[in-house]
Structure 1
Amino acid sequence: MTKTNTRDKLIAAMADALQRKGLHGVGLSELLEIAGAPKGSLYHHFPGGKSELAVAAIDHIGRRIDEQFSQLFRRHGDPLAALHSWLQTALSQLEDSRFERGCPLATVALESGPEDAEIRAALQRIFAAVRLSLSQQLQQHGHAPESATNLAALFVALYEGGLLQARVAGSSEPLRRAADALFNMTRQTPGGDAR
């Protein structure tokens, strides 16, 4: 096992744990076991420990989200159809996990405190990057810059809040209703049909 593989496995294990349990819900032993990594490898690759690993996992998640948006917008000619597809995938994942797998970013954001400055900075950076990426995709599909920026912010807020409520309720209904309202409102302005 190379150093890069061990490091990548630790990041993947942390990204998965953040989505299921949050930062404080997973211990170092569990992370090492999930990654199949030997003791000592965490601090070898991440001298700052669990927090440094969490920041690396948050950055990894941000890159993955950006890639997923790019793929969705390439597949769908209509940006609202791409967003609808994104939400459907998130809902399916949430339902398939029996409402265990929410958004890893939101889970960490909710449990972070003022002492978690590096983690909060990473979250802020990734949320901003996601909104920017989404806004750029919307602009490439004909939305005016301000409209695209506003719609991206609304979509991210709806996604995060809706997933959180659905996870707590053990039901997809909160996110489905919010998404239906967003797509119905957006259809009334230039931009097309979500389905």
Structure 2
Amino acid sequence: MKKTSTRDNLINAMTDALQRKGLHGVGLNELLDIAGAPKGSLYHHFPGGKSELAVAAIERISERIDSLFAQLFSHQPDPLNAMHSWLQGALQQLESSGFERGCPLATIALESSADDVEIRAALQRSFNAVRQALSRQLRAHGYADEQAENLAALFVAIYEGGLLQARVAGSSEPLRRAATALFNLAREQFPGGVRP
């Protein structure tokens, strides 16, 4: 098994913290404990401190999006089933964490301010990467360019909004209802499935 570097451990710890607590809900000592990193290592690897580490975590999430969707869609001949599987995975994670682990991007986006220029730029790139990765898969499964881009944008909006509502409600129902409506509408538009 490959040993991870202190830098990677810090990024992984921040990703986990963003998902559970957000940027302002986690302290430096907690991040160092989660990462198993010595004091001083955070500023050695991230001279900009917690904000720079958050940007690195957001960028790491973006890097994994393409391969995540490629793997998911390769196992599902129906692109809507692949999207449904992604939602199911997110809901299972949320439910098994006692509605604590939401989307790390949404959590930090909600607490960022106009002063968080680098964080907001990283978030914008990351949300864009999610939409682009999803629309690439949809195009590969026969959706026209504009249809793929629109469905990807709608799906990401429902995913993010539904997860936030589910998290605060302590119930998966808000996301399940929104997803059901989306998939029903999509299947009505393409009743025989999408064919390249």
The two structures have a TM-score, normalised by structure 1, of 0.95
SS at match of 1:108: helix
Instruction: Give the Å deviation of 1:70.
Output: 1.2
Deviations 1:29-78 (A, max 9, x none): 00000000000000000011100000000011112232211110111111
SS at match of 1:188: helix
Aligned residues: 191
SS at match of 1:114: coil
Instruction: Give me the whole-angstrom Cα distance separating, in 2, the residues matched to 1:31 and 1:121.
Output: 23
SS at match of 2:5: helix
- Corresponding residue number in structure 2 for 1:165: 165
Instruction: Give me the whole-angstrom Cα distance separating, in 2, the residues matched to 1:21 and 1:118.
Output: 20
* Residue identity opposite 1:73 in structure 2: F
- Corresponding residue number in structure 2 for 1:95: 95
Deviations 1:74-127 (A, max 9, x none): 111111010000000000000000000000000000000011100000000000
Deviations 1:7-48 (A, max 9, x none): 000000000000000000000000000000000000000011
CA contact (8 A) 2:13 2:31 kept: yes
Instruction: Give me the whole-angstrom Cα distance separating, in 1, the residues matched to 2:65 and 2:11.
Output: 15
Unaligned runs of 5+ in 2: none
- Corresponding residue number in structure 2 for 1:83: 83
Instruction: Give me the whole-angstrom Cα distance separating, in 1, the residues matched to 2:58 and 2:148.
Output: 25
SS at match of 2:89: helix
Instruction: Give me the whole-angstrom Cα distance separating, in 2, the residues matched to 1:168 and 1:46.
Output: 32
The within-5 A match list for 1:128-143 is 128-143=128-143
Instruction: Give me the whole-angstrom Cα distance separating, in 2, the residues matched to 1:19 and 1:137.
Output: 25
The within-5 A match list for 1:47-58 is 47-58=47-58
Instruction: Give me the whole-angstrom Cα distance separating, in 1, the residues matched to 2:163 and 2:20.
Output: 13
- Corresponding residue number in structure 2 for 1:192: 193
* Residue identity opposite 2:177 in structure 1: R
Instruction: Give the Å deviation of 1:192.
Output: 2.5
- Corresponding residue number in structure 2 for 1:9: 9
Instruction: Give me the whole-angstrom Cα distance separating, in 2, the residues matched to 1:103 and 1:49.
Output: 22
Q: For the aligned residues, what is the CA RMSD? A: 1.4
The two structures have a TM-score, normalised by structure 2, of 0.95
Instruction: Give the Å deviation of 1:141.
Output: 0.3
Unaligned runs of 5+ in 1: none
- Corresponding residue number in structure 1 for 2:72: 72
